[in-house]
């Protein structure tokens, strides 16, 4: 039961009908609240995807706390170390020395020398103009057998160029060394979950005789290095796109950005692009669309008029998903998102025209801390934050699309919705697990 220590508030400024909303930022910026939904991955989870690599975070105690416990909750403490920056380092300006000596100390004390070390520097290094090239040069001289990767935990830069999330997905592949091109191999980059084998994209690649490489399939650092041999790289998640482009440019390869989406036209265009670029046979979409339609209809027959709410952590295209579901008769009432990517503009305009009363709500606006969460009726939530804000025990526990893709992704989403509608879940426990799918001892 919620303990109230403050009075009630109204939802002015924390809700807007889409017909009245501005794009891409419907809400005023201000102080920020953080809902207790933890399923999205952070930079520790993403970095752990490199097999056998070791992570060293170099920052203030307050910044270390969250990441060290992320690693501990994953049961990955042996792959994680820290160097604490203290006041005297800031005053004396010896960040370079601290970094080199601290990393050296850790590497000499580890029972086994890792093949790669991800060093995460922080906002302080940026503001005090720490000479990172010098640091990496020194470390390279001391440990020539180790691949050092510069990683960043500098959230203060989140509005200046690439966000920390984009940077992490780029640096995830920074240790790849150039190697000869392997014919008919494709590397899928930057996803927290491998794409479902049943998706049209994967079936086209496999059916066309292409070998698919993905960091999720790598069991050793040597296997990870084979990613560099891929002829072509694919990204499907918006935050991975910049990393895919950078890697392709560095290695002289092709990059295709085929974003996960919910609209049949765009899905078809993505598959056309893939077929053309890789000279793959292009199947007719009819059957796949039919299967998706059948699944949606089957779900709708059961879910009926139950209110549906969606949040941005479940999919990078929450408006696209709302559009798909509304077009198939579902009662989508609310989309929880603080802003939208430019890729959502077309869906935003469609919803303004066809579902003008659809409510948009923020997730970080301060009133979200106090607004009532209990709903008088059963609510189907898609995403952890949507489940939290509606106190729903009927929810699709999914982050970042969960590997769903294409028409098959639509079909599977319909099945997940039906399953969520029929089976009550322990929302409180499930959504507090950090990094969905990473393993968590809590």
Partner 1 sequence: MRQTASIISTYTADVSGVCSALFELGGMTVMHDASGCNSTYNTHDEPRWYDTDSLVFLSGLSELEAVMGDDEKFIGDVAEAARELHPAFIALAGTPIPMVIGTDFAALAALIQQRTGIPTFGFATNGMHSYLSGASQAFATLAERLVQEPRERRKELSVNLLGVTPLDFSVGPMVGSLRRRLEAEGIAVASCWAMGDSLENICRAGEATVNLVVSWCGLAAARVLRRRFGTPYVVGAPVGEAFTHVLAEEIRAAARDGQDRLPLTKRPPAGPGDLTLIAESVTGGSLAAAMALEQGKRVRLVCPLETEDGFLLPGDVRARDEVELEPLFKEAGGIIADPLYRPLCPPEVPFYELPHEAFSGRIYRRDIQDFIDHIPFFEEKRKRS
Q: Write out the residues near partner 1 by the rule CB under 8 A.
A: 1-7, 9, 13, 29-34, 36, 38, 59-66, 68-69, 72-73, 77-78, 80-87, 90, 98, 101-102, 105-106, 109-110, 122-124, 126-128, 153, 155-160, 366-367, 369-370, 428, 432, 434, 441-442
> Which position has the token pair 């930022």?
25
CB of 4 to partner 1, least distance (A): 6
Decide: 232 and 162 in contact? Cβ < 8 Å: no
* CB nearer partner 1, residue 85 or residue 172: 85
If you count them, how many residues does the chain have? 442
DSSP 365: B
CB of 18 to partner 1, least distance (A): 23
* CB nearer partner 1, residue 87 or residue 141: 87
CB of 282 to partner 1, least distance (A): 43
* CB nearer partner 1, residue 255 or residue 385: 385
* CB nearer partner 1, residue 154 or residue 270: 154
> Which position has the token pair 């500098």?
154
List strand residue ranges (DSSP E) for 199-293, in order: 211-214, 232-235, 254-257
CB of 107 to partner 1, least distance (A): 9
CB of 131 to partner 1, least distance (A): 17
Decide: 263 and 247 in contact? Cβ < 8 Å: no
CA 290 to chain centre: 29
* CB nearer partner 1, residue 85 or residue 149: 85
Decide: 441 and 410 in contact? Cβ < 8 Å: no
Decide: 359 and 371 in contact? Cβ < 8 Å: no
Backbone angles phi, psi at 177, to 5 degrees: -105, 145
CB of 198 to partner 1, least distance (A): 34
Decide: 357 and 372 in contact? Cβ < 8 Å: no
* CB nearer partner 1, residue 89 or residue 315: 89
* CB nearer partner 1, residue 11 or residue 346: 11
Decide: 375 and 294 in contact? Cβ < 8 Å: no
Query: Per DSSP, what are the bridge partners of residue 288?
Result: none
CB of 356 to partner 1, least distance (A): 27
């Amino acid at each position: 039961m919620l303990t109230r220590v403050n009075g009630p508030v109204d939802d002015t400024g924390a809700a807007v009908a889409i017909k009245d909303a501005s794009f891409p930022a419907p809400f005023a910026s201000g102080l920020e609240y953080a809902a207790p939904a933890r399923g999205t991955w952070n930079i520790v989870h993403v970095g752990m995807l490199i097999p056998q690599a070791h992570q060293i975070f170099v920052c203030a105690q307050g910044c270390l706390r969250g990441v060290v416990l992320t690693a501990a909750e994953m049961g990955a403490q042996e792959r994680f170390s820290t160097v604490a920056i203290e006041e005297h380092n800031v005053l004396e300006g010896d960040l370079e020395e601290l970094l080199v000596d601290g990393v050296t100390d850790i590497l000499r004390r580890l029972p086994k020398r890792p093949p790669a070390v991800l060093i995460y520097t922080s906002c302080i290094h940026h503001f005090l103009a720490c000479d990172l090239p010098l640091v990496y040069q020194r470390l390279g001289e001391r440990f020539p057998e180790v691949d050092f990767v510069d990683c960043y935990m500098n959230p203060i830069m989140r509005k200046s160029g690439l966000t920390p999330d984009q940077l992490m997905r780029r640096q995830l592949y920074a240790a790849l060394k150039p190697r000869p091109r392997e014919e008919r191999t494709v590397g899928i980059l930057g996803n927290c979950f491998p794409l479902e084998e049943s998706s049209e994209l994967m079936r086209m690649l496999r059916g066309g005789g292409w070998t698919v490489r993905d960091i999720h399939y790598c069991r050793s650092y040597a296997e990870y290095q084979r990613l560099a041999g891929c002829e072509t790289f694919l990204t499907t998640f918006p935050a991975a796109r910049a990393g895919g482009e950078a890697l392709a440019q560095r290695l002289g390869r092709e990059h295709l950005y085929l974003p996960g989406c919910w609209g049949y036209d765009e899905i078809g265009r993505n598959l056309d692009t893939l077929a053309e670029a890789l000279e793959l046979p292009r199947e007719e979409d009819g059957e796949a669309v039919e299967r998706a339609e059948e699944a949606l209809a089957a779900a709708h027959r059961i879910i009926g008029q139950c209110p549906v709410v969606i949040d941005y952590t479940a999919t990078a295209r929450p408006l696209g998903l709302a559009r798909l579901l509304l077009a198939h008769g579902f009662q989508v009432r609310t989309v929880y998102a603080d802003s939208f990517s430019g890729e959502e503009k077309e869906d935003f305009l469609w919803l303004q025209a066809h579902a003008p009363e659809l409510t948009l709500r923020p997730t970080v606006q301060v009133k979200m801390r106090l607004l009532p969460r209990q709903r008088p009726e059963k609510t189907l939530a898609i995403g952890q934050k949507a489940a939290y804000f509606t106190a729903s025990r009927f929810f699709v526990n999914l982050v970042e699309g969960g590997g769903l893709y294409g028409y098959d992704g639509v079909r599977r989403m319909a099945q997940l919705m039906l399953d969520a509608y029929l089976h009550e879940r322990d929302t409180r426990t499930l959504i507090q697990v950090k990094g969905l799918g990473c393993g968590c001892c809590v």
